[in-house]
Homo-oligomer: A and B are copies of this chain.
Amino acid sequence: MTGPDDRWPDLAGALTGEGHLLAVRVYYEDTDFSGVVYHASYLRFMERGRSDFLRLCGIHHNQLDAGLAGERLAFAVRHMDIDFLKPARIDDVLEVHTVCEQARGARLVLAQEVRRGAEVLIKARVTAAVINAEGKPRRMPKDLAARLQQ
């Protein structure tokens, strides 16, 4: 039996030697009246990259949310430092690059870039935390930390 994940093998991007790579198309919804991509849309693109990086490492938000790790867990962004270097435009194909710099305790530090071909449009450092339903930080499952840092 083949599911949609088999029919669309690239949908979650690809693990690279260094981290993860996800292709993202710019649609109407991502742009604003100034003619380029709205600044907060890049945060949505980078979150897709992080989610699919975790997915290819075997971590699914719906399983964390269902309590498969013992209690309901989710990732929450704690800090972002973002340089908006060049604008993307409608129809562009962008690539979100994600590298895990640190995965220790409840804390995940990622370096992310949004590129169009060789051009770096956005450069960000993102700190996320694993939290439970009450918002308390929770130690990341060890095997997850290991897989993210390979």
Which residues of chain A have a CB within 8 Å of any CB of chain B? 3-5, 7-12, 23, 25, 27-29, 31-36, 38-40, 43-44, 47-48, 51-52, 55, 60-62, 65, 74, 76-84, 87, 89-91, 93-95, 116-117, 133, 135
Give the copy number.
4
Chain B residue nearest in CB terms to A27: B48
In whole angstroms, how far apart are the Cα atoms of A77 and B121 in the complex? 12
Does A39 lie within 8 Å of B79, measured CB to CB?
A: no
A9 to chain B, nearest CB (A): 8
Q: Which of B4, B61, B84, B95 meets A23, CB within 8 Å?
A: B4
The distance from the CB of A10 to the nearest CB of chain B, in whole angstroms, is 5
Cross-chain contact B34 with A38 (CB below 8 angstroms): no
Residue contact B90 to A61, C-beta cutoff 8 Å:
yes
24 A-B interface contacts by CB (under 8 A): A3-B93, A4-B23, A4-B116, A4-B117, A10-B10, A28-B51, A29-B32, A31-B33, A32-B32, A33-B33, A33-B35, A33-B65, A33-B90, A34-B76, A39-B47, A39-B80, A55-B91, A61-B91, A62-B89, A62-B91, A78-B83, A78-B84, A79-B83, A80-B82
